[in-house]
Amino acid sequence: MNLITGIESTDLFGGNVPSPVLQLIERTHGGSNDDVAAALWTAVLSYPRCLPPYYLLYKFHANRGELGEAQEVATKALAVAARQASLDSDWCAVQPGDTDFTVPGPGRFWLFTLKALAFFSVRRGERAVALKLIAKLRRLDPIDCIGLDVVEALLAQSGSR
């Protein structure tokens, strides 16, 4: 699965990734962690309105256990997607009818990134924040298009320890 260039990319981000961004992303294949981080940060900083590099960067940091960094990037991604989807900059103020979260594009990416923030909160032991995010996600995505059940299961597991 290639989340940046395949069907998944269109389903999540709603469009194609510009060629220069793809070139930067291609530099990450087989590179050291420092090279990957540098290429992804370059993509984010050079193309701040392009959503896929944010996703790759917060996923990169999360996979390395750098949850604070992942959370920081996801928060920036959420702000960019909110502007593009004409959503309130405060995720708490977003309501179910504000956009169609089932349609590929910035709104769906926003919802997916909010889920990532819930996941990072669970992993960081921020239970109250995670519960608030999950409650908002359930209101915005009652049919669970983004797979929130995984985050809820992780939260339940972390609560039983």
Residue by residue, pLDDT tens for the chain (161 residues) are: 344 444 455 556 666 788 898 888 887 888 899 999 999 999 999 999 999 999 999 999 999 999 999 999 999 999 999 999 999 999 999 999 999 998 889 999 999 999 999 999 999 999 999 999 999 999 999 999 889 999 999 999 987 55
Select from 137, 30, 135, 122 the least CA-distant residue to 67. Answer: 122
Q: Does residue 145 sit within a domain? A: yes
Which residue segment(s) compose the domain that 75 sits in? Answer: 7-159
Q: Does residue 1 sit within a domain? A: no
First to last CA, the chain: 34
CB 138, CB 154: distance < 8 Å: no
Q: Does residue 90 sit within a domain? A: yes
Q: Does residue 2 sit within a domain? A: no
Residue type, 28: T
For residues 17 and 4, give the distance between their C-alpha atoms in angstroms, rounded to a whole number.
7
Select from 130, 140, 74 the least CA-distant residue to 108. Answer: 140
Token pair 């819930």 is found at: 118
pLDDT tens per residue across span 56-92: 999 999 999 999 999 999 999 999 999 999 999 999 9
Give the number of domains in the chain. Answer: 1
For residues 79 and 81, give the distance between their C-alpha atoms in angstroms, rounded to a whole number.
6
pTM over 0.85: yes
Number of Cα atoms under 13 Å in the Cβ half of residue 28: 18
CB 62, CB 70: distance < 8 Å: yes
Please state at what angle helix 149-159 crosses helix 127-140, rounded to 10 degrees. 150
Q: Which CATH number do you get for residue 138? A: 1.25.40.10
